[in-house]
Amino acid sequence: MNPSPMIALVGNPNAGKSALFNALTGARQKVGNYPGVTVERKVGRMALDDGRPLELVDLPGTYSLDPASPDEQVTRDVLFGRQAGERTPSALVVVVDATNLDNHLRFVLQLVALGLPVVVALNMIDMAERDGLVIDIARLSAELGVPVVPTVAVRKRGLDELRAALGRAVGGGGKAVFATGEPEDITKLQREARRIADAVTVQQHAENAWTQRLDRVALHPVIGPILLAGMMFVMFQAVFSWSQVPIEWLASAQAWLADTAIRTLPDNLLRSLLVDGIINGVGSVVAFLPQILILFFFILLLEASGYMVRAAFLMDRLMAGVGLSGRAFIPLLSSFACAIPGIMATRSIDDPRDRLTTILIAPLMTCSARLPVYAVIIGAFIPAKRVLPGVGLQGLVLFCLYLAGIGGAMAVAAVLRRTVTKGGGGGFLMELPKYQMPVWRDVALGLWQRCLIFLRRAGTVILWVTVVLWVLTSYPVAPEGSGIKQSEYSIAGRIASVLEPVVRPVGFNHNMALAVIPAMAAREVAVSALQTVYSIDAGDDEKVGQKRLGLRLRGAWSLPTALAFLAWFVFAPQCLSTIAVIRRETNGWLWPAFTLGYLFVLAWCAAGITFWTATALGL
Amino acid sequence: MRLDQLPLRQASRIASIDWTGLAPREAQRLRELGFDDGVAIEALHRSAMKGPLACRVGRMIIAVRRKVAATDRNDPA
């Protein structure tokens, strides 16, 4: 069977490509990776009106065919049929921002010259109309020599016409003609693009007034940074306060499951595995899904509204102080959700040394996997009182932990840029897109994908680590009446005993040493590990699922110990998946090994300083 | 007048760009973003502590560092 024709969606960044991709394919999309590089490959299926199926690939946005960064390289290689694991496209849909014709048309000219069938989607035509721009579409089509279809991707306008034009384009076939040719002179093409834009723009009024008005506040030298800090603060407060109710629901569901299992199953090993290992172990991690989704919700919102690039603008001066650019701020902010997409987002940084530095410090941004750890410890040891109207002490501590991560990252970047990643420096040159109302459907789709990724992780990595940990903590069984704790007598306990002398000086007990090891696989496992260890030691699993982990910890740990554990996780050596991504990104084991080493040293020192200071203060 | 010295929101046109004062990659990106002789330009926002500035080039808003902005000379529109 012939595979369905592949259509590539190409265009400048901010042309509304992803919105069009979502509108055309709906939920029928798959997010993966191109082999060998961590550039995200988004592919979806759609059908033409006559029923013919098409495969639509959303290529990374780029300004030209002369790539400056790894993601732009992928776009170029796919278009030229050189990307491993990808077919040469049968046709291109070039997405153009109707309000920014003079610039976007230059790239269209480059793409039309490739000789593949092209359909131009003149997107955001509604915004052009609102800006008072009137475009002669027939003339534009004649000038470019390809069909032009006006679209409003976010409102699904013009999609039928686009599908019809695609049907005609795919029917005709075509082949790239200058796949090895020299790229044309940018300035010449740019002037030609401006000529066409002038010729087809019948009427032109003032620019986007909204963006101007908002930017006067958002980019103000004083108000701008305050607004950014305020927004970050609200975001982290929301992560804590909005999630309380859904977390309670999940915790109740988990308790009900555990109780039901205890009531209905005979008291044997299988029940212990199911209750201690799976329900309470995995459940204690899944309980944090609401917080992770709230964090992603804010990040998706910042990206979709166009504010994220403004944040990069505001942060550039600070980032320049440590040898980076504001551009690094975007991957770093994404790393608050997860270091993996964060490290992947560094592909848009063109300077290799800037990029390497950003990759190395990305794990210091507090990822959502650390939230379960923070949440349990903060919940157990920090009183839930208000320090200011609307500001809770717990949220404030969480905010400080995030600040510690950021401060640490900046300090490490400053050191790295003066030592191991010295030299270069890519500067800061970015387009500030117009502000847009986020499309709720697209935000929901993004959240849904994150939710699936998290649950898949909980169902695989976290489940297996939890089960293995349960086995290692349950065997061999401590002799009855010996007074030896099971968590110390078991295999895991003996392994932890080896690590214990290293972490004892920083206030960690045996169970914490035990929890820190599996947390290397996935940080949130620290919570399920503690849960499993304390459940097994309790020896009375009737109470499991009723007695909360926080209460147990409060009984077992001192406040300096708890604070040291929090400080450890600010810098904790990251999860295995992050190491794997760093290895793939940097093509070798040197940088992942370096990252592991420096993070371990930092984590130990931070935990130590916290523990010693807190003890000295008599906390 | 240099872009980094241009009064905010004063409509101007690019008179010349000192391409030799720029790294090749920077020069290419500037060209891709529409910087060219004769193009309408307007400084819009300057960030604190000599941070980057935002300017409108054609119909696009671009953030540039002041060092790069200093290579761009403009005439009143």
The pLDDT of residue A276 is 74
Cβ distance of A215 and B50 shorter than 8 Å: no
Chain B positions in Cβ-Cβ contact with residue A225 (cut-off 8 Å): 48
Q: Is residue B55 part of a domain?
A: yes
Q: Is residue B32 part of a domain?
A: yes
- Distance between A503 CA and the closest CA of chain B, angstroms: 43
User: Is any Cβ of chain B less than 8 angstroms from the Cβ of A438?
Assistant: no
Q: What is the CATH number of the domain that holds B36?
A: 2.30.30.90
Q: Is residue B2 part of a domain?
A: no
Assess whether pLDDT exceeds 90 at residue A293: no
Chain B positions in Cβ-Cβ contact with residue A219 (cut-off 8 Å): 44-45, 47, 54
Pick out chain B residues at pLDDT < 70. Answer: none
By Cβ distance, the residue of A102, A426, A429 closest to B59 is A102
- Distance between B77 CA and the closest CA of chain A, angstroms: 16
Chain A positions in Cβ-Cβ contact with residue B27 (cut-off 8 Å): none
Chain B positions in Cβ-Cβ contact with residue A210 (cut-off 8 Å): none
Higher-confidence position of A237 and A207: A237
Cβ distance of B64 and A429 shorter than 8 Å: yes
Report the distance separating Cα A28 and Cα A47, nearest Å: 11
- Distance between B57 CA and the closest CA of chain A, angstroms: 10
Cβ distance of B52 and A64 shorter than 8 Å: no
Assess whether pLDDT exceeds 90 at residue A175: no
Higher-confidence position of A243 and B18: B18
User: Is any Cβ of chain B less than 8 angstroms from the Cβ of A212?
Assistant: yes
Q: Region A152-174: what's the mean pLDDT?
A: 84
Q: Which residues pair with B16 in a beta bridge?
A: B73
Chain A positions in Cβ-Cβ contact with residue B61 (cut-off 8 Å): 211, 215, 431-433
User: Is any Cβ of chain B less than 8 angstroms from the Cβ of A188?
Assistant: no
Chain B positions in Cβ-Cβ contact with residue A111 (cut-off 8 Å): none
The pLDDT of residue A182 is 53
The string of pLDDT tens digits covering residues A391-426 is 788 888 888 998 899 899 999 999 999 998 887 766
By Cβ distance, the residue of A102, A317, A326 closest to B48 is A317
Assess whether pLDDT exceeds 70 at residue A476: yes
3 state SS of A430:
strand
Interface probe for B, chosen from A226, A329, A429, A435 (most Cβ of B below 10 Å), is: A429
Beta-strand (E) ranges in A59-117? 91-97
User: Where residue A207 falls among pLDDT bands split at 50, 70, 90?
Assistant: low
Assess whether pLDDT exceeds 80 at residue A333: yes
The string of pLDDT tens digits covering residues A68-119 is 787 888 889 888 888 777 788 999 999 999 988 888 999 999 999 888 899 9
Residues shown for chain A: 619
Q: Is residue B3 part of a domain?
A: no
The pLDDT > 70 percentage for chain A reads 91
Higher-confidence position of A277 and A527: A527
Q: Region A591-597: what's the mean pLDDT?
A: 93
Cβ distance of A432 and B51 shorter than 8 Å: no
Q: Read off φ and ψ for residue A19, nearest 5 degrees.
A: -65, -40
Chain A positions in Cβ-Cβ contact with residue B21 (cut-off 8 Å): none
Report the distance separating Cα A499 and Cα A502, nearest Å: 5
Chain B nearest-CA residue for A431 = B62
Q: Which amino acid is at A212?
A: Q
Full residue range of the structural domain in which residue B62 is found:
12-76
Secondary structure of chain B in the HEC alphabet? CECCCCCCCCCEEEEEECHHHCCHHHHHHHHHCCCCCCCEEEEEEECCCCCCEEEEECCEEEEECHHHHCCEEEEEC
Interface probe for A, chosen from B31, B36, B42, B72 (most Cβ of A below 10 Å), is: B31
User: Where residue A546 falls among pLDDT bands split at 50, 70, 90?
Assistant: very low
- How buried is A454 (Cβ within 10 angstroms: 0-12 exposed, 13-18 middle, 19+ buried)? buried
The pLDDT of residue A543 is 47
Chain A nearest-CA residue for B65 = A428
The tally of domains found in chain B comes to 1
Q: Is residue B16 part of a domain?
A: yes
Chain B positions in Cβ-Cβ contact with residue A428 (cut-off 8 Å): 52, 63-65
Report the distance separating Cα A195 and Cα A191, nearest Å: 6
Assess whether pLDDT exceeds 60 at residue A545: no
Q: Is residue B4 part of a domain?
A: no
Assess whether pLDDT exceeds 60 at residue A541: no
All domains in chain A, ordered by first residue: 6-207 (3.40.50.300), 242-287+439-557 (no CATH)
Cβ distance of B59 and A99 shorter than 8 Å: yes
> What does pLDDT average to over chain A?
84
Q: Is residue B7 part of a domain?
A: no
3 state SS of A81:
coil
Q: Region A535-550: what's the mean pLDDT?
A: 58
* Total CB pairs under 8 A between chain A and B: 113
Cβ distance of B54 and A219 shorter than 8 Å: yes
By Cβ distance, the residue of A99, A207, A219 closest to B45 is A219
**Closest Cα to residue A201, out of A335, A117, A100?**
A100
Assess whether pLDDT exceeds 80 at residue A242: yes
User: Where residue A220 falls among pLDDT bands split at 50, 70, 90?
Assistant: very high
- Distance between B45 CA and the closest CA of chain A, angstroms: 7
- Distance between A195 CA and the closest CA of chain B, angstroms: 12
* CB-based contact B42:B56 (threshold 8 Å): yes
User: Is any Cβ of chain B less than 8 angstroms from the Cβ of A329?
Assistant: no
The string of pLDDT tens digits covering residues A487-529 is 788 888 888 889 899 999 999 988 888 888 778 767 777 887 8
User: Where residue A172 falls among pLDDT bands split at 50, 70, 90?
Assistant: low
Q: Is residue B1 part of a domain?
A: no
Assess whether pLDDT exceeds 70 at residue A539: no
**Closest Cα to residue A377, out of A558, A505, A513?**
A558
DSSP H or E segment with residue A447: helix A440-457
Cβ distance of A313 and B63 shorter than 8 Å: yes
Here the tokens at position A533 are: 């260890």
By Cβ distance, the residue of B23, B33, B47 closest to A219 is B47
Cβ distance of A320 and B51 shorter than 8 Å: yes
Q: Predicted ipTM?
A: 0.96
Cβ distance of B44 and A309 shorter than 8 Å: no
User: Is any Cβ of chain B less than 8 angstroms from the Cβ of A207?
Assistant: yes
Assess whether pLDDT exceeds 60 at residue A180: no
Cβ distance of A429 and B68 shorter than 8 Å: yes
Report the distance separating Cα A538 and Cα A290, nearest Å: 29
DSSP letter for A87, please: P
